[in-house]
Chain A
Amino acid sequence: MSDKPISQDTSRAPTSQKRATPIQAGAKDAIGGSVSVTIDGEKTKVPLGTTILEACREMGVHIPTLCHHSDLCIAGVCRVCVVEVEGMRTLQAACAFPITAPITVRTHTAQVRRSRRHIIDLMLKYHYGECYACGRNNNCELQALAKEYGVDFFRFGHPDKPMHDVDRSSHSVVRDMNKCVLCRRCVRTCIDLQEVGVLEAIERGEETTISTYLDKPLGDVVCINCGQCINRCPTGALRANDPTDEVWAAIEDPTKHVVIQTAPSPRAGIGECFGLEPGTPMTYEMNTALRRCGFDKIFDTNFTADLTIIEEGTELLIRLYKALVEKDTEVALPQYTSCSPGWVKYLEHFNPEMIPNLSTAKSPQQMFGAVIKTYYAKMHNIDPKDIVTVALMPCSAKKFECNRPEMCDSGFKDVDYGLTTRELGKMISEAGIDLPAMPKSDFDDPFGTATGSGVIFGATGGVMEAALRTVIELVVGCKVEDLFEHADILPVRGFEGVRYVELPITEVGPVPEIVSHLVPNWDWLKGATLKVAVAHGTANAKKVLDDIKAGGKFSECHFIEFMGCPGGCIGGGGQPIPTSPEIRAARAAAIYAEDADCEVRKSHENPAVLKIYNDFLMEGPCGHLSHKLLHTGYTARGKYIS
């Protein structure tokens, strides 16, 4: 069982794409040592096995790259990073060349510049697209390369008509292979980071394209809609399915009451669309901008994140009670979280036999949709048919999720449109709004008050931390702060691909009212050890699932948080591009800072949550109405498609 961080352990990647192990025959003493390298006349020492690219970056020497990505294994296919290595007949790809012996490198000789320019010219010869009509204008690595190399005419020509049809079959991802430069980052993302592998190069030579199983449309293959490929595509070849026109139309329709819920991660990312440093929180500026765009109400998805914790936590307690006290052997444990739709679809495709382990609680987005079109509609006396619910999400899979046919428990489509952070950034620009300059304003009632637990849903480990804060207080009866300083449950935080934590329950308290209809007391948990785990990115999820199938330590867990995307929602497929471990860490820091600033930090203390159970859901968590509105079922899809 490997707990290595993402992208180090790439079991299914072709060996060609794995990082070179710097083993030199006979030089065993050299391992772990350093080696000298001269770059453009400057000499330095680097650890053995450092790539030329890394060495250059370390020295502040810029090398253009295209197929290289800090999250992915090395491909060495675009060749724009070529440099001269003294004594070698051909130029070498800086990204792929591990330094294992002293070398002299020159990064901008005439040969190097000419070759790079030719490579860019060749890409443009096969690239059909006009920058001013492209979603990646000004945020495109191909465009940036062309600028860097002063391309002012198409040396080898330029296509005047499209060569491929645009694939719009997926609710989440649009593929326009006319703009693809075959860097294969999407292929590596889908295989290495996500262990899905729906994308692969087909044909060869000039005919090579990125395609799917039997060239089927993306909507018909086992794609989990995570959008991670979009985030790593250097060009406009991959993009999310953009509903902004429909959203604008709804806003402009006077008969519609347009409500937007905003998830925690977009507020930590949207600043990047406006040139701010990653991790600059824009929560309250964004509220003002949304109002100025014309949304009628702005709600915080954190409300239903808290509701999710109550529902999912209760579900867990019920499962544990059945298993431990009633000795029901049919109960599926560990319970898996269900708030990440990419992860949910992954399980439906690849491990449908484990669907019983999936919490039946809907994701916060879908709970909110159902609540708005029932509870909120009733409260404000608005006909739900006139309500349009928009969900601002960091996620492309949320677009698929809201279109699941079963997500109509309010009697209407619970969530009408899923909007990504990038798409909202575009709407705000279009409205002429300078987001960072906006005055701050709060969310609208009645769901306004957020808790810190809801906020941290955005980062990997956040759902687990939120759940633990509540479970500890409900069961142990003490304050989380008594066990963890500032209620920060650090063991579940971080970016390690898979994390495992044990929490011994030494004391139990009285059963609080909110769950008193479900269990008589907690004595049966006294002395037990709560075992939980966290995994992010479906490649890591797969490791955990494989371990469970093999009866390993994760099979003894009670509760496991799975997030489809590396880093959790802050690294979602709808977040601003580019992404990197550093960018995701900065966004996560913003989220944890917002949590620390919250007055209420625990889901079960959210007054709006308590109110909805009192006024509307009536029978408490997992009660009848909860089940109808807040829970769902899943589809065993399997990985074989007809």
Chain B
Amino acid sequence: MITSTCKNLTFATIEAGAGLKRALELGQAGIIREVTDSGIKGRGGAGFPSGVKWNLCAAAKDPQKYIVCNADEGEPGTFKDRIILTTYAGLVFEGMTIAAAAVNAPKGILYLRGEYTYLREQLEAELQALRDDGKLGENACGKKGFTFDIEIRMGSGAYVCGEETALIESLEGHRGEPRNRPPYPVNTGFDGHPTAVNNVETLAWISCILNKGSDWFRQHGTEKSTGLKLFSVSGDCDMPGVYELPLGITVDQLLAEVGGSNAKAVQIGGASGRCVPGSQFDRKIAYEDIPTGGSVIVFGPGRDMLDVAQNFLEFMVEESCGQCTPCRYGNPTLLEGVEMLRNGRCSAGYLKELVSLGESVQISSKCGLGQSSANAFLSIIEHFKEEIMGRTVDAV
């Protein structure tokens, strides 16, 4: 098992530009084949196979296409994209250039989280260096007819703008609200043109894949969840930080790694993820079992799980764009339920109704935010019912 801490990432061992060089030799179809063969799925959370996405985007008939790098990293408990952008931005820009060559897009946009404004100057300087070096611009990388440049655009602090269609709305200058899908961005994206949106980490790994080959990547992980992944670990553990681990690792193994073996529960996937109780620590962190965009929050024995549920729901209530009914009003209703539970005033019957409401919110909301907003609440109710129902009624 390959394990390394933040200081010891594969990214540090990758020769700059090698992946891109090989990509340009492979050509459009070759790149897409290599990415598809690697089996890499999106590292932003949704886990869509990147090769399929690029293939769809490449097939769309439109001379104007866009590569968007999603650097809005807003999921509570993730900070791995920040680490990558701080130290390995070159790999991300390289990944974007590879994507551009694969789908034939002349323009790239890095959508940077508002809170990461301090990184902008450094990133702009790196981009300028790439332009000066002929890696970006007209006839980029010395390849005739290949034009690609990258622009940085700032987000302004809405979690939902990390959702790719809301991100595109925000880029277009509208309220950051998710669109109806279909159509998908690969067909109708920024300004109506085909757009491939990829996470920072996805793009960085793709640079590695083109450099080291898809076979190298497939050596790690499971059959359905290939490769290595960065995890942002926080909470009640001895060594919080960013870890590079293979997908398919069990919760137990991860906890051992980070010094959190006495955990009571682990929230995997941030506020939109699920709360895994101790009894299920043998489960795998992988797309086929417990999927994650990389956020791991450890809860020690002393944690009140109702606080946890409340915390995540408050985040969703705050961040819902307010467009669709189930998410806009469902989450505050669940949050009120948590308050009732806290005061011992929630009947078993009403709790059942709330669980059922949570399921309705999951399946009827318009975007991924609403569809996952009740996950934490529902999994905590499922696994910690005793702890939660046993509150005494307020004197008030």
A residues near B (Cβ < 8 Å) are: 14-16, 20-26, 28, 74, 76-80, 82, 89-91, 93, 96-98, 100, 111, 114-116, 118-119, 122-123, 125-126, 155-156, 181-182, 200-201, 203-208
Instruction: Give complex CA distance A182, B320 in Å.
Output: 14
Binding-face segment, B5-13, B133-141, B170-178, B264-272: B170-178
Interface status of B144 (Cβ within 8 A of chain A): no
Residues of B within 8 A of A181 (CB): 325
- Within the assembled complex, what's the spacing in Å between the Cα atoms of A78 and B325? 5
Most chain-B Cβ atoms within 10 A of its Cβ — which of A80, A91, A118, A182? A118
Chain B residue nearest to A208 (CB atoms) is B322
Min C-beta distance of A12 to chain B, whole Å: 10
- Which single residue of chain B is at the shortest CB-CB distance from A203? B322
**B57, B169, B357: the one within 8 Å of A14 (CB):** B169
Within 8 A of A (CB), among B162-217: 165, 168-169, 172, 174-175, 177-180, 182-183, 186-188, 191-192
CB contacts (< 8 Å) of B326 on chain A: these are 79, 115, 118-119, 122
**A93-B366, A182-B322, A201-B175 in contact; A125/B360 too (CB < 8 A)?**
no
- Residue from B179, B319, B332, B333 in contact with A16 in the complex, judged by beta carbons closer than 8 Å: B179
Q: Please give, as numbers and ranges, the residues of chain A lying within 8 Å of B191 by CB-CB distance.
A: 15
**How many angstroms between the C-alpha atoms of A415 and B357 in the bound complex?**
54
Instruction: List residues 292-336 of chain B with CB under 8 A from any CB of chain A.
Output: 317-326, 328-333
Question: Is B130 an interface position by the 8 A CB rule?
Answer: no
A205–B319 touching, CB < 8 Å: yes
Q: Which of A98, A155, A208 contacts B182 (CB 8 A)?
A: A98
Q: Does A20 lie within 8 Å of B182, measured CB to CB?
A: yes
B327, closest chain A residue (CB) = A205
CB distance from A455 to the nearest CB of B (A): 43
A14-B172, A15-B179, A182-B322 are contacts. A23–B330 as well, Cβ < 8 Å? no
CB distance from B199 to the nearest CB of A (A): 20
Q: Known: A14-B175, A77-B324, A182-B322. Contact between A93 and B317, CB under 8 A?
A: no
Contact between A23 and B188 (Cβ–Cβ < 8 Å)? yes
Residues of A close to B183: CB separation below 8 A: 20-23, 98
The answer for the CA separation of A77 and B187 in the assembled complex, in Å, is: 22
Given contacts A24-B187, A156-B357, 13 further A-B contacts (CB under 8 A): A15-B179, A20-B188, A79-B325, A80-B325, A82-B364, A90-B364, A97-B180, A118-B356, A181-B325, A204-B322, A205-B322, A206-B322, A208-B328
Cα distance A615–B65 in the bound complex, in angstroms: 72
Which residue in chain B gives the minimum CB-CB distance to A184? B323
Q: How far is the CA of A203 from the CA of B169 in the complex (A)?
A: 16
With an 8 Å Cβ cutoff, the count of chain B residues facing the other chain is 51
Q: Which residue of A lies closest to B187 (CB)?
A: A23
Cβ–Cβ < 8 Å partners of B329 in chain A? 122-123, 125-126, 206
| Bound-state Cα–Cα, A24 to B186, Å | 10
Whether B363 is near chain A, meaning CB under 8 Å from some CB there, is: yes
Which residues of chain B from 328 to 377 have a CB within 8 Å of any chain A CB?
328-333, 353, 356-357, 359-366, 371
With A14-B174, A16-B177, A20-B182: A111-B333 Cβ-Cβ less than 8 Å? no
> A residues within 8 A CB of B321?
204-205
Q: List 10 A-B pairs, Cβ < 8 Å.
A: A20-B188, A22-B183, A77-B366, A79-B324, A119-B326, A119-B360, A203-B322, A204-B321, A205-B319, A208-B322
For the complex of A and B, 6 pairs with smallest distance between CB atoms: A208-B322, A16-B179, A122-B329, A25-B59, A96-B180, A205-B320
A16: chain B residues at CB < 8 Å are 165, 169, 174, 177-180
Q: A26 to B332, Cβ gap below 8 A?
A: no
B60 within 8 A of A: yes
Interface residues, chain B, with chain A CB atoms under 8 Å away? 56-57, 59-61, 158, 165, 168-169, 172, 174-175, 177-180, 182-183, 186-188, 191-192, 317-326, 328-333, 353, 356-357, 359-366, 371
In the bound complex, do residue B366 and residue A14 qualify as a contact, i.e. CB atoms below 8 Å apart? no
A100 near B182 with CB under 8 A, answer yes
Smallest Cβ-Cβ distance to B189: which chain A residue? A15
Tell me if A97 and B325 are in contact (CB < 8 A).
Answer: no
Instruction: For the complex formed, measure the closest distance between the CB of A426 and the CB atoms of chain B, giving whole angstroms.
Output: 31
Residues on B with C-beta less than 8 A from A115 are 326, 360, 363-364
* Closest CB in chain A relative to B355 CB, distance in Å: 12
Q: In the complex, A461→B186 CA distance in Å?
A: 43
Q: A15-B179, A98-B182 are in contact. Are A156 and B333 (CB under 8 A)?
A: yes
**B residues in contact with A97, CB < 8 Å:** 180, 182
B188 CB contacts on chain A under 8 angstroms: 15, 20-21, 23
Interfacial chain B residues near A24, Cβ < 8 Å = 187
Known pairs A82-B364, A119-B364, A122-B329; A206 contacts B317 (CB<8 A): yes
Residues of A within 8 A of B172 (CB): 14-15
Partner of B60, one of A25, A89, A126, A200: A25
Residues of B within 8 A of A28 (CB): 61
Expressed in whole angstroms, the Cα–Cα distance for A78 and B60 within the complex equals 31
Given A21-B183, A21-B188, A122-B325, check contact A206 B320 (CB 8 Å): yes
**Which of B175, B187, B333 touches A25 (beta carbons < 8 Å)?**
B187
CB distance from A326 to the nearest CB of B (A): 49
B317's contact among A91, A182, A205, by CB below 8 Å, is which? A205
Q: B187 — which chain A residues lie within 8 A by C-beta? A: 21, 23-25
Complex contacts, A82 vs chain B, CB 8 Å: 363-364
Q: Are B363 and A15 in contact (CB under 8 A)?
A: no
Residues of A within 8 A of B179 (CB): 15-16
On chain A, the residues within 8 Å of B360 by CB distance are 114-115, 118-119
Complex-state Cα separation, A125 to B363, whole angstroms? 20
Which of B187, B331, B364 has the most chain A CB within a 10 Å cutoff? Answer: B364
Are A119 and B60 in contact, CB atoms less than 8 angstroms apart? no
Closest to A24 in B: B187
Contact A111 B186 (CB under 8 A): no
Instruction: Write out the residue numbers on chain A whose beta carbons fall within 8 Å of the beta carbon of B317.
Output: 205-206
Bound CA span A428–B323, Å: 40
How far is the CB of B368 from the nearest CB of chain A, in Å?
Answer: 9
- Determine how close the nearest CB of chain A comes to the CB of B103; give it in whole angstroms: 11
**B180 lies within 8 A of A201 (CB):** no
CA distance A408 to B37 in the complex (A): 80
Contacts of A155 in B (CB 8 A): 353
Most buried by B among A15, A93, A126: A15
Nearest opposing residue in chain A for B166, CB measure: A16
Asked whether A206 lies within 8 Å of B175 as measured between CB atoms, the reply is no
* In contact, B182 and A14 (Cβ under 8 angstroms): no
A21 to B158 alpha-carbon distance, docked (Å) = 28
Q: Give the CA-CA distance A16 to B184 in the complex, in Å.
A: 11
Contact in complex: B59, A122 (CB < 8 Å):
no
Q: B325 and A123: CB pair below 8 A?
A: yes
Q: Which residues of A contact B353 (CB under 8 A)?
A: 155
Q: Which residues of A contact B186 (CB under 8 A)?
A: 25
Q: How far is the CB of A107 from chain B (nearest CB, A)?
A: 14
Residue of A28, A90, A111 ringed by the most chain B CB atoms within 10 A: A90
Report chain A residues within 8 Å CB of B363: 82, 89-91, 111, 115
* Cα(A25)–Cα(B57), bound, Å: 8
Please state if B328 and A206 are interface contacts (CB–CB under 8 Å): yes
Inter-chain CA distance A118–B65, complex, in Å, is: 40
B363 CB → nearest A CB, Å: 5
Taking the nearest CB of chain B, how far is it from the CB of A410, in angstroms? 48
Q: Quick one: given A155-B353, A204-B320, A206-B332, are A91 and B364 in contact (CB under 8 Å)?
A: yes
Residues of the A chain whose Cβ atoms lie less than 8 Å from the Cβ of B328: 182, 205-206, 208
Chain A residues within an 8 Å CB radius of B332: 205-206
Contact between A77 and B323, CB atoms less than 8 A apart? yes
Residues of A within 8 A of B361 (CB): 118
Closest chain B residue to A76 by CB distance? B180
CB pair B59–A26 under 8 Å, yes or no, is yes
For the complex, give the distance between the alpha carbons of A118 and B257 in Å.
Answer: 43
The reply to whether B192 and A79 form a contact with Cβ atoms under 8 Å apart is no
Q: In the complex, A122 Cα to B327 Cα: how many Å? A: 10
A118, B330: Cβ atoms closer than 8 Å: yes
- Which of chain B's residues have a CB closer than 8 A to the CB of A118? 326, 330, 356-357, 360-361, 364
Contacts of A91 in B (CB 8 A): 363-364
